Amino acid sequence: MKVVKLYQYVNILSIDVAAGAAICALFFARIFQVAVSPYALAALALTVWVIYTIDHLRDARAIQTVASTDRHRFHQQHFRTMIVIALFVTAADFVLIWFMPRSVLTAGLLLWAIVLVYLMFQRYLKFLKEFFVALLYTAGVILPAVAVLTADLNLVHAVLIGKFFITALMNLLLFSLFDYHEDRRQRQYSFVTWFGPVSTRRGIVLLGLLNILLGIVLWSFDPAVALIFITMNLMLLAILFFQQQLVLHNYYRILGDAVFFIPVLYLL
């Protein structure tokens, strides 16, 4: 189908990841009951896109042969073009941040500095790569709302942020699990190449069960929010259990990234 083919390119280019980050930022803004700057949302989406694109370009550059995955092969074939686009998007991102509220600008620049440090030392992180990416992704998603929050974060808010981090970590571990054989052949480091597929599967299941349990506990706070998180985690666990069926045409990656579209239901 043409629609599926088109969305595969959207996924290869990480456009859906950037859109999912903006949706999740609006989700947290609604939970925290604050209004977020549209410039902050646009800058978040562009920043996430740049980080993911640079990460894919670095991986594609490190692969000495023709990549076997569609994503890496695309970035190999269009390496220079994607570099130029990434530079233009980065420039647009820095223009946008000057239109943000001062509190968001300060926090955003600090996060950018942390991201640059991560990109510089990424190859030394080994099995901690997924942890740091999930941490940075979570920080970026909550930043537009937290930066303009006048009240202190309460325990429920902290738990919700923790639940989102766990969801992002599950997503990344799941992708690493699917890419295990390819990463080993191309000497790419990840959690699963260090600890193995069995331990990674167990870790994903434990994280999912923990998050579902926390979702049930938070039902009294807001059943809709709890249901959103439970649905996200159940979808990731379903991808894990149907691994063999979803590995074809990288459907696991499309569905895994689409998990972060689920919070849009809370915004309707």
Q: Model confidence over 218-244: pLDDT tens digits?
A: 888 889 999 999 999 999 999 999 887
d(CA 32, CA 144): 11
Backbone angles phi, psi at 14, to 5 degrees: 65, 20
d(CA 218, CA 215): 5
In order along its 268 residues, the chain shows pLDDT tens digits of 677 778 888 888 999 999 999 999 999 999 999 999 899 999 999 989 998 898 888 878 877 777 777 788 888 898 999 999 999 999 998 888 788 888 888 888 888 888 888 777 777 767 778 888 899 999 999 999 998 888 778 888 889 999 999 999 999 999 888 877 776 776 667 778 888 888 999 999 999 999 988 888 788 888 999 999 999 999 999 999 988 777 776 778 888 899 999 999 999 8
d(CA 215, CA 162): 11
Sequence-separated (6 or more) residues with CB below 8 Å from residue 50: 86, 89, 90, 93
d(CA 231, CA 146): 24
Both tokens of 245, joined, read 């069926």
